[in-house]
Amino acid sequence: MNARLLRLDDEATPAQAAQVVQAGGLIIFPTDTVWGLGADATNKEAVEQLRRLKGRSARQPLTLHLANVELIQQYCRRLTRQQRRWIERLLPGPYTLILPAAAGAPQAAVNSAGGVGLRVPDSGSFRRLASALACPLVASSVNRSGQPPLTRLAEIIGLFGAEVELILTSDEPMSGQSSTVIELTGSSPQALRGRLPQALRTDWRAI
């Protein structure tokens, strides 16, 4: 293992992690769902390194991980009333929302249809990390492409410890289940991974 292992509960860790990311390094970090493999979304070399490490195609967008819901408006075009209401209901939480990308959204997180994937994990340790960053964080689950996300720290260290600069840990629990991916760019919500919450299936047009 070459990666440093640091606890996000330690006061100095978020700033140290931010330095690594902003210098082009890769990190592994906890969320409310599964571990994330992250990089500076604006650094093309770091994003390509992340893709190579996972074996992930450039055609597959990554996901922006944000510290709070208010930051969403920086990366999306003007949102409809329905979209805003469902953002308020679902985030922070175990969801990835696909929304219309603004012109300045990092291309690593924009799909071929012009949607951008956004996560706001419901995790205090993640918020401490993201709040320390001066760049947007793009990430994916910690696994090789096509394999299930790794949930055990020992496995993560064994497979990725020599490939990243920093592995962050926390005592906060994770669900171990990947986020539900919901497309909110069309006339009605669509679940691309997982199932729509009951409220979305029944109340979408009423909002």
The domain limits of the chain are 4-206
Tell me the C-alpha distance between 60 and 115, whole Å.
12
Residue 190: which pLDDT band, with cuts at 50, 70 and 90? Answer: very high
Strand order in the sheet with 27-29: 4-7, 166-169, 27-29, 36-40, 137-141, 63-65, 115-119, 95-100, 180-183, 190-193
Residue 93: which pLDDT band, with cuts at 50, 70 and 90? Answer: very high
Residue 204 pLDDT: 61
Say whether pLDDT at 125 is over 70.
yes
How far is the CA of 155 from the CAs of 55, 135, 141, 148, 169, in angstroms? 18, 29, 14, 12, 14
Is it true that domain 4-206 has CATH number 3.40.50.920?
Answer: no
Enter the tokens of residue 102: 């603004």
Per-residue pLDDT tens digits for 135-174: 999 999 999 999 999 999 999 999 999 999 999 999 999 9
